[in-house]
Amino acid sequence: MDLNQLWQSTLAELELQISRPNFLTWLKNSRLIKKEEDGKVLVGLGNNFAKEWVENKYHKIVLESLRSFDETIKKVEYIVLVEEKKIFFTEKEPALSGKGNLKTDPNRQAILPELKIDSETNLHPRYTFDSFVVGSSNELVYAAAMAIIKDVGKKYNPLFIYGGTGLGKTHLIQAIGNEIKNFYKNKIKVKYVHSEKFVNDVVTAIRNKRMEDVKNKYRNVDVLIVDDVQFIGGKKATEEEFFHTFNVLHENNKQIIISSDRPPAAIPTLEERLRSRFEGGMIADITYPDYEMRVAIIKTKLQEKNAELSDEICGLIANKIQRNIREIEGILNKILFYQEFKNIEPTPKIIEEIINNTAQQSSKNITNNQIIKAVADFYEIAVNELISRSRKKGVVEPRQITAFLLRDILDMSYPDIGEKLGKRDHTTAIYSFEKISKEININKKLNQKIILIKENIYKN
Ligand code: ADP
Ligand code: MG
């Protein structure tokens, strides 16, 4: 058997043991490159991501399959098949920058440090003013934020920020928290909380008759930041507790910062006394970014990702996506993925296709079971295990990704997601969603996995 035949037979064997989408993704462009006298063979794979995946997940069955055809094989090693390709994301290294046709370094990894949520403040270090673009849509809020940072608790209290989804509310209020924390070197105690978490804390405290836990947690801070406060509306016990927390902090000149998807007057179930408290400070909205601002955001995001796109392409994206910055990020991640993983050059036509496809995809009929199955298939774990309460190492990430996708694609509520994934508390679902939606922007591999899983979801 020559090398090619040997590999074709091995692939046929592997195809029986690996799910179809995975087989196509990881092994389609593989080759057996050589066999050495000591029994070592070299397998070439399409890219670095595939190499790592096959090494970690399929090594054993690759070796076994090979050996079933040729017993003299003792060892398998993997390399990446480097191809000449057109690059539009240029490296920021001097030797490589700005040229047309370059070889990519297959070993290049995301060099960003892993960023973790601070357990004391609940703030994510990624959200800073350095990465926040100020423009016509958020100038006013930004000015208020700066005034607050200078004079914590004294200027605008509370600061109530509202605006549509994906327009930067969470980024902004967390950036305020991070700035205060860093500027005052922890002398000022900051705490960020998503209102669903606050609701949950109150509910748990009532159930366990431990209200003082909530009081200790939220009344002993200098700056309390509450995200998406609209979820508090209509939950009586929580509103009550929040009202008192608010008063205690306010009377002591502690700063309160609140975000919401609408102004206080438009949260129908909000108690009157809480509404008038909110209206007692400064209310400012974030509106849709204009074209210039969208272009600036695209360029900032590319810089963060160490990537470049032509002005024409940036303009095209800014033209097409007008109402949601999170969506802009999603498209950039996708383009980056297509370039790196699939070798696709982003002509304006392709960019347009990617954008149109993404818009169509979100409206397709997808069920939660399809999503769960796609994740299970991708990681080759059983659906039952994925939705179980097991904390085994191999299922934590898949489960967090499932939670993320259920929210991202279906807009499922956090309690429903928690229920579906092993009858978990909904705060676990919030945590998972928030974690993955941040990580996806800084962790290239995670981004790749999620795009591949999504492709499989929409393919079926
Ligand atoms: P919201 O909380 O309003 O739904 P987020 O704060 O989560 O929106 O923002 C969505 C994404 O867009 C985040 O990844 C954030 O970093 C990014 N983003 C929003 N506004 C800006 C901005 N002005 N500059 C840079 N990035 C932004
Ligand atoms: Mg938000």
- Residues 275, 173 share a domain: yes
Whether 300 lines ligand 1, by a CB cut-off of 6 Å, is yes
Asked whether residue 117 is domain-assigned, the answer is: no
Of the segments 9-13, 172-176, 348-352, which one has the largest average pLDDT value?
A: 172-176
Residue-wise pLDDT tens digits, 120-147: 999 999 899 999 999 999 999 999 999 9
CA nearest to 331, candidates 356, 307, 308, 304: 356
pLDDT digits (tens, 9 = 90+) for 355-370: 888 776 666 788 999 9
Verify that 331 and 377 share a domain, yes or no: no
The answer to whether residues 178 and 127 touch, using CB atoms and an 8 Å cutoff, is yes
Co-location of 104 and 246 in the same domain? no
| pLDDT of 84 | 38
Do residues 72 and 25 both lie within one domain?
yes
Pocket test for ligand 1, best of 169, 325, 407, 438 (most atoms within 8 A of CB): 325
* CATH number for 307: 1.10.8.60
Looking at the structure, do residues 133 and 279 belong to the same domain, yes or no? yes
On whether both 359 and 398 belong to a single domain, the answer is no
The Å distance, Cα 176 to ligand 2 centre, comes to 14
What's this model's pTM, rounded to 2 decimal places? 0.74
Domain-terminating residue out of 363, 397, 418: 363
> Which residue range(s) make up the domain with 307?
291-363
How far is it, in rounded angstroms, from Cα 65 to Cα 59? 10
Nearest atom (ligand 1) to Cα of 134: 23
List, for residues 318-374, the tens digit of each pLDDT value: 999 888 899 899 899 888 888 877 777 788 998 988 888 877 666 678 899 999 999
* Domain CATH for 378: 1.10.1750.10
Boundary of a domain, candidates 286, 303, 324: 286
85, pLDDT greater than 60: no
> What is the pLDDT, as a whole number, of residue 87?
36
- Whether 353 and 407 map to the same domain: the answer is no
Residue of 159, 175, 167 whose CA lies nearest to 286: 167
Angstrom distance (rounded) from CA 404 to CA 443: 15
User: If pLDDT is split at 50, 70 and 90, which confidence band does 438 have?
Assistant: confident
CATH of the domain at 227: 3.40.50.300
- Residue 392, in any domain of the structure: yes
Q: Are strands 223-227 and 159-162 parallel, antiparallel or unpaired?
A: unpaired
Say whether both 307 and 326 belong to one domain.
Answer: yes
pLDDT at 363: 60
Q: Based on the domain organization, do 373 and 388 belong to the same domain?
A: yes
| Position 102 confidence tier, pLDDT thresholds 50, 70, 90 | very low
pLDDT (0 to 100) of residue 190: 97
User: Mean pLDDT throughout 403-411?
Assistant: 92
Pocket test for ligand 1, best of 171, 257, 328, 439 (most atoms within 8 A of CB): 171
Is residue 199 within 8 Å of residue 235, measured between CB atoms? yes
260 lines ligand 1 (CB under 6 A): no
Please tell me whether residues 344 and 374 are part of one structural domain: no
Confidence at 215, pLDDT banded by 50, 70, 90? very high
Please tell me whether residues 388 and 438 are part of one structural domain. Answer: yes
* 109: number of Cβ within 10 Å: 11
User: Residue 87 and residue 141: Cα distance in Å, rounded?
Assistant: 39
Give the end of a domain, one of 79, 111, 143: 111
Instruction: Please indicate whether residue 325, judged by its CB atom, sits closer than 6 Å to ligand 1.
Output: yes
Q: How many whole angstroms separate alpha carbon 215 and alpha carbon 246? A: 11
Q: Are 346 and 390 within one domain?
A: no
**Number of the ligand 1 atom closest to the C-alpha atom of 167:** 3
Q: What is the mean pLDDT of the chain?
A: 87
Residue found by looking up tokens 């409206």 in the block: 363
